């Protein structure tokens, strides 16, 4: 036993020495380059939301001489506050926190570290050194709705969604309006999961929607769970966050997707130049931060043409997605003909358009 | 081969087994780290530095040590009676829930009074949650390991229900979050750490004295040694179990109060953070002695904090960091087994047919 230990111990020592040769500089040190911290709500392998942000981080590392650190699966509790403090303790001078529920905590921490630049994705609270950033994902969601509206035969689309907050509701409404633009009879049924990240629960919710008659599944979730449900049940699906074609090759048609990299590069450059200012960024298709993933062969034939048309209209500001007349679920006129929702109204949207089945609660 | 319980073990042997286990765990996880592409020695050093390397990190680690010590103290009282309280997690949650009720609804009370009320409420919440399985045990001889464990899930889902439903902050625009506590419901800080650390030190002293000097402490010991002896000597066993469990759960409940008030500033279903389960291990490893709970909890808090640190410092995935922690844990717990038992060759199957009587 002792001999075995001795052998193993010397083995470790040798391995350590061998590793020393090429692993220099991994320990956080006070070097010149800027350290940027990323906080993720799920694991980077989720194939969705966190994966997309991590792609942005890798893009940042590729294009700039900065050091990035990240932490996965940080819950939306006080733990995020600790994590941010830890990152600053490890030298981070810019922090990107990528989930809505981090809002109150990051707001609090930002006041303790005025010299650090904070960026919060999808929130609405800012401070002197806390900016928010998000994209008009409702634009590509509208486009993905067109694909779903053309594809469905039962005229019933299932939508697996995380929480009834304005961000998610806005997406469901845009998707529904897109589907109705090509298929006025379509209804969109919503199932809440009360989680951003839970592959099993997300999948279950999708299965339930399919059992109720949906033949196209869309999602506002971080994983590919709903895609797998569609794949297994032989129906079609619209993904979210990233191109999910590989996860469900027999179901997936397209997805509204994120492209965070350029924004990260731009902002980190600002931090380096000392020109960082608090802001509320909300870019759209024209800024390239959001887009619609390429259609697969499963998408209906006429979809591409219809999408190109609508996309051009969005780029020319001819199509604003939330332009009247729009009715709510009870049939009340919410947006009059010729009117459209202001940014404020979109950011606080807490009602469903006509054709959505489900409750906000 | 078979196992024999050791009569006693010399200090030297115990030390040998423990150090072999620790070296073994470091070697095995070292191999794992090497295959992840890092230098094991650097990573270990970094883990230690991440947990204790600066004043800030020590403070952060103390924030984990506090609930671990307190929960271990609570669980220990039950374990001393051989009542296997696996319900620390649920008792923490219920203490947090009871305390939060007052924090949310009586925030206009003066701070010292409100905090005192929350403290008592936390004790009652946790004590109540431990009373139920204790009552079931003495009345119907139900298996307490199962009932206390199940009570954890009830508590967890109760809080989840409140967080998503009746207690949801109306200002959160649909996001399931309970409102942040007012300042009057927040534990003050001393030296940058919420004053739970003072409560913890007091608790260690009080419980040590209580167990060693008081009549009730003695009764707990006797019930743990043998219920028959306890009965024979006129101790009302059932009453001791129920009272002991209320204290056990109550202390866990105080942990819940300290976590919502001192750390989280609100109630969430993450508030117990697994302390109730980790404390089972720390309690066991400390040999049910309050004085040993402190170093063991410190070590575990360091493991948790250091494990988190290497994730960001080396970009080791969370699951890999968890594996390293669990490997170390596995060896440490394993060594306790070999301290209690020894393995001997089974001579019954040998040719001589000699039966080993031990």
Task: For A191-248, give the DSSP string.
Answer: EE-S-SS-HHHHHHHHHHHHHTT-SEEEEESSSSHHHHHHHHHT-EEE--BS--TTT-
Please say whether the beta carbons of A219 and A64 come within 8 A.
no
Q: Which of A23, A75, A194 sits opposite B176 (nearest CB)?
A: A194
In this prediction the pTM is 0.80
| Contacting residues for B262 by C-beta, under 8 A, at least 6 apart | B186, B187, B194, B195, B196
| Chain A residue nearest residue B306, CA to CA | A86
Partners of residue B20 in chain A, C-beta under 8 Å: 1, 5
DSSP-based three-state secondary structure for A338: coil
Round to the nearest angstrom and report the end-to-end CA distance of chain B. Answer: 14
Delimit the domains of chain B by residue range.
Answer: 66-294
Higher pLDDT, A7 or B278: B278
| Contacting residues for B162 by C-beta, under 8 A, at least 6 apart | B97, B178, B267
Give pLDDT, residue B87: 92
pLDDT tens-digit map of B119-129: 999 999 999 99
Question: How far is A220 from A258, CA to CA, in rounded Å?
Answer: 13
Q: Do B27 and A5 make contact, defined as CB atoms within 8 angstroms? A: yes
Mutation to test the A interface, candidates B312, B315, B318, most A Cβ within 10 Å: B312
Strand boundaries in chain B, DSSP class E: 2-5, 189-190, 193-194, 341-344
Chain A nearest-CA distance from B141, in A, is 37
* B56/A contact by beta carbon, under 8 A: yes
Partners of residue A37 in chain B, C-beta under 8 Å: 312
In a 10 Å sphere around its CB, with 0-12 CB exposed, 13-18 middle and 19+ buried, how is residue B203 labelled?
buried
Looking at chain B, the whole-number percentage of residues with pLDDT higher than 90 is: 43
Task: Report B:206-265 residues touching A (Cβ under 8 A).
Answer: 263-265
Q: Do B312 and A90 make contact, defined as CB atoms within 8 angstroms? A: yes
Mutation to test the B interface, candidates A4, A21, A82, A190, most B Cβ within 10 Å: A82
Give pLDDT, residue A14: 57
Q: Do A77 and B313 make contact, defined as CB atoms within 8 angstroms? A: no
Q: Which of B40, B180, B319 sits opposite A12 (nearest CB)?
A: B40
Could you say which DSSP state residue B75 is in? H
Nearest to B297 by CA among B310, B283, B308: B283
Q: Which of A69, A78, A100 sits opposite B264 (nearest CB)?
A: A78
Give pLDDT, residue B175: 78
pLDDT(B168) > 90: no
| Chain B residue nearest residue A80, CA to CA | B264
Nearest 5°: phi and psi at A341? -70, 140
Q: Do A20 and B39 make contact, defined as CB atoms within 8 angstroms? A: yes
Q: Do B314 and A26 make contact, defined as CB atoms within 8 angstroms? A: yes
Q: How many CB atoms lie within 10 A of CB B215?
A: 8
Q: Do A164 and B174 make contact, defined as CB atoms within 8 angstroms? A: yes
Partners of residue B314 in chain A, C-beta under 8 Å: 26
Q: Do B270 and A79 make contact, defined as CB atoms within 8 angstroms? A: yes
* B71/A contact by beta carbon, under 8 A: no
Site of tokens 């932490």: A71
Site of tokens 């199962």: B146
Chain B nearest-CA distance from A100, in A, is 9
Please say whether the beta carbons of A39 and A98 come within 8 A.
yes
pLDDT tens-digit map of B181-204: 998 999 988 888 889 999 999 999
What is the gyration radius of the CA atoms in chain A, in angstroms? 23
Q: Do A166 and B173 make contact, defined as CB atoms within 8 angstroms? A: yes
What CA dihedral angle connects A67, A72, A76 and A77, to 10 degrees?
-80
Chain B nearest-CA distance from A30, in A, is 13
Partners of residue B270 in chain A, C-beta under 8 Å: 75, 77, 79
* B57/A contact by beta carbon, under 8 A: yes
Chain B nearest-CA distance from A251, in A, is 30
Chain B nearest-CA distance from A38, in A, is 10
Q: Do B40 and A16 make contact, defined as CB atoms within 8 angstroms? A: yes
Question: How far is A125 from A147, CA to CA, in rounded Å?
Answer: 34
Q: Do A37 and B37 make contact, defined as CB atoms within 8 angstroms? A: no
* B157/A contact by beta carbon, under 8 A: no
Question: How far is B288 from B290, CA to CA, in rounded Å?
Answer: 6
| Contacting residues for A184 by C-beta, under 8 A, at least 6 apart | none
pLDDT (mean) for B8-20: 80
DSSP-based three-state secondary structure for B43: helix
pLDDT tens-digit map of B38-69: 888 888 898 899 899 888 889 989 999 999 99
pLDDT(B174) > 60: yes
* B46/A contact by beta carbon, under 8 A: yes
Question: How far is B219 from B231, CA to CA, in rounded Å?
Answer: 10
Q: Do B23 and A5 make contact, defined as CB atoms within 8 angstroms? A: yes
Complete edge-to-edge strand list for the sheet that includes strand A280-283: A67-71, A35-39, A92-97, A117-121, A130-135, A280-283
DSSP-based three-state secondary structure for B92: helix
pLDDT tens-digit map of B288-329: 888 899 998 998 899 888 888 888 888 888 788 888 878 887
Question: How far is A203 from A227, CA to CA, in rounded Å?
Answer: 8
Higher pLDDT, B266 or A361: B266
Report the DSSP beta bridge partners of residue B5.
B341
Q: How many CB atoms lie within 10 A of CB A277?
A: 9
Task: Copy the structure tokens of residue A112.
Answer: 């303790």
ipTM of this complex prediction, to 2 decimal places = 0.74
Give pLDDT, residue A155: 95
Chain A nearest-CA distance from B170, in A, is 11
The mean pLDDT value of chain B amounts to 88
Higher pLDDT, B169 or A313: A313
Q: Do A12 and B30 make contact, defined as CB atoms within 8 angstroms? A: yes
HEC assignment per residue over B104-117: HHCCCCCHHHHHHH
Per-residue pLDDT of chain A in tens (361 residues, 90 and over written 9): 556 555 655 655 555 555 544 444 444 444 568 999 999 999 988 888 999 999 999 999 999 999 999 999 899 988 899 899 999 998 999 999 999 999 989 999 999 999 999 999 998 889 999 999 999 999 999 999 999 999 999 999 999 999 888 899 999 999 999 999 999 999 999 999 988 889 999 999 999 999 999 999 999 999 999 999 999 999 999 999 999 988 899 999 999 999 999 999 999 999 999 999 999 999 999 999 999 999 999 999 999 999 999 999 999 988 989 998 999 999 999 999 889 998 888 888 989 999 999 988 7
Partners of residue B174 in chain A, C-beta under 8 Å: 163-166, 169, 350, 360
* B59/A contact by beta carbon, under 8 A: no
Nearest to A140 by CA among A295, A267, A245, A261: A295
Q: Which long-range contacts (CB under 8 A, 24 or more apart) does B167-175 make?
A: B167/B104, B167/B267, B173/A165, B173/A166, B173/A348, B173/A350, B174/A163, B174/A164, B174/A165, B174/A166, B174/A169, B174/A350, B174/A360, B175/A100, B175/A101, B175/A163, B175/A165
- DSSP assignment of A150-198, as one string? HH-SSSEEEEEES--SHHHHHHHHHHHHHHHHH-TT-EEEEEE-S-SS-
CB pairs under 8 A between A and B: 111
| Contacting residues for A239 by C-beta, under 8 A, at least 6 apart | A48, A219, A224, A227, A247, A248, A252, A254, A255, A257, A293
| Chain B residue nearest residue A25, CA to CA | B314
Domains identified in chain A and CATH numbers: 35-135+259-287 (3.40.50.2300), 138-255+293-357 (3.40.50.2300)
Q: Where are the alpha helices (DSSP H) in chain A?
A: 2-22, 49-63, 79-89, 103-112, 138-151, 166-182, 199-211, 225-233, 261-273, 303-315, 343-347
- DSSP assignment of B166-206, as one string? TTB-GGGTT---BPPPPGGGS--EETTEETHHHHHHHHHHH
Question: How far is A10 from B172, CA to CA, in rounded Å?
Answer: 57
Mutation to test the A interface, candidates B13, B23, B27, B39, most A Cβ within 10 Å: B39
Give pLDDT, residue B231: 85
The enclosing H or E element of B103 equals helix B88-105
Give pLDDT, residue B349: 55
At B171, the pLDDT band (50, 70, 90 cuts) reads confident
pLDDT tens-digit map of B28-40: 888 888 888 888 8
Partners of residue B308 in chain A, C-beta under 8 Å: 71, 83, 86
């Amino acid at each position: 036993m002792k001999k075995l230990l001795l052998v193993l111990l010397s083995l470790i020592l040798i391995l350590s020495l061998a590793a020393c040769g090429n692993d220099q500089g991994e320990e956080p040190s006070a070097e010149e380059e800027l350290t940027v911290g990323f906080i993720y709500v799920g694991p980077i392998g989720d194939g969705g939301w966190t994966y997309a942000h991590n792609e942005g981080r890798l893009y940042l590392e590729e294009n700039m001489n900065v050091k990035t650190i990240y932490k996965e699966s940080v819950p939306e509790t006080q733990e995020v506050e600790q994590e941010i403090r830890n990152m600053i303790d490890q030298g981070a001078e810019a922090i990107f926190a990528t989930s809505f529920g981090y809002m109150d905590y990051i707001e609090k921490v930002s006041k303790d570290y005025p010299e650090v630049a904070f960026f919060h994705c999808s929130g609405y609270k800012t401070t002197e050194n806390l900016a928010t950033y998000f994209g008009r994902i409702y634009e590509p969601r509208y486009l993905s709705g067109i694909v779903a509206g053309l594809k469905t035969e039962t005229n019933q689309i299932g939508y697996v969604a995380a929480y009834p907050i304005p961000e998610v509701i806005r997406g469901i409404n845009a998707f529904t309006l897109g589907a109705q633009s090509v298929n006025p009879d379509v209804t969109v049924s919503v199932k809440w999961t009360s989680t951003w990240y839970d592959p099993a629960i997300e999948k279950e919710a999708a299965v339930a929607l399919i059992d109720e008659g949906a033949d196209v599944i869309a999602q506002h979730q971080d994983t590919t769970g709903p895609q797998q449900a569609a794949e297994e049940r032989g129906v079609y699906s619209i993904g979210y966050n990233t191109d999910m074609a590989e996860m469900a090759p027999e179901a997936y048609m397209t997805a509204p997707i994120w492209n965070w990299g350029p924004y990260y590069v731009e902002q980190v450059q600002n931090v380096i130049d000392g020109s960082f200012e608090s802001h509320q960024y909300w870019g759209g298709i024209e800024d390239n931060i959001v887009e619609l993933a390429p259609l697969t062969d499963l998408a209906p034939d006429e979809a591409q043409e219809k999408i190109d048309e609508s996309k051009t209209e969005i780029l020319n500001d001819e199509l604003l997605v939330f332009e009247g007349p729009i009715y709510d679920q009870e049939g009340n006129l919410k947006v009059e003909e010729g009117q459209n929702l202001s940014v404020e109204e979109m950011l606080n949207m807490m009602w469903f358009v006509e054709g959505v089945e489900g409750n906000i609660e | 081969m078979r196992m024999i319980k050791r009569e006693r073990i010399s200090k030297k042997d115990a030390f040998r087994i423990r150090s072999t286990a620790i070296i073994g765990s470091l070697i095995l996880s070292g191999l794992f780290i090497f295959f992840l592409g890092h230098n094991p020695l650097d990573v270990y050093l970094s883990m230690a530095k991440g947990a204790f390397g600066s004043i800030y990190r020590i403070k952060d680690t103390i924030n984990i040590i506090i609930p671990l010590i307190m929960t271990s103290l609570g669980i220990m009282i039950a374990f001393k009676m051989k009542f296997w309280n696996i319900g620390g997690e649920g008792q923490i949650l219920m203490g947090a829930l009871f305390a939060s009720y007052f924090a949310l609804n009586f925030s206009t009370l003066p701070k010292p009074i409100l905090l005192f009320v929350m403290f008592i409420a936390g004790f009652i919440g946790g004590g109540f949650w431990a009373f139920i399985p204790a009552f079931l045990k003495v009345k119907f001889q139900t298996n307490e390991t199962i009932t206390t464990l199940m009570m954890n899930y009830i508590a967890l889902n109760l809080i989840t229900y409140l967080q998503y439903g009746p207690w949801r902050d109306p200002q959160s625009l649909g996001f399931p979050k309970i409102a942040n506590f007012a300042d009057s419901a927040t534990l003050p800080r001393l030296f940058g750490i919420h004053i739970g650390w003072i409560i913890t030190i007091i608790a260690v002293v009080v419980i040590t004295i209580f167990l060693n000097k008081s009549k009730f402490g003695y009764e707990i010991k006797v019930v743990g040694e043998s219920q028959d002896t306890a009965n024979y000597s006129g101790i009302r066993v059932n009453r001791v179990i129920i009272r002991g469990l209320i204290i056990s759960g109550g202390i866990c409940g105080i942990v819940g109060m300290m976590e919502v008030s001192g750390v989280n500033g609100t109630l969430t279903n993450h508030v117990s953070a697994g302390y109730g389960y980790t404390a089972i291990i720390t309690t066991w490893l400390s040999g049910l002695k309050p004085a040993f709970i402190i170093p063991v909890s410190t070590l575990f808090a360091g493991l948790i904090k250091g494990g988190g640190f290497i994730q960001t410092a080396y970009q080791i995935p969370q699951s890999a960091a968890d594996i390293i922690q669990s490997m170390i844990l596995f060896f440490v717990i394993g060594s306790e087994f070999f301290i209690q038992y020894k393995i001997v060759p089974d001579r019954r199957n040998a040719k001589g047919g000699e039966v080993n009587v031990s």
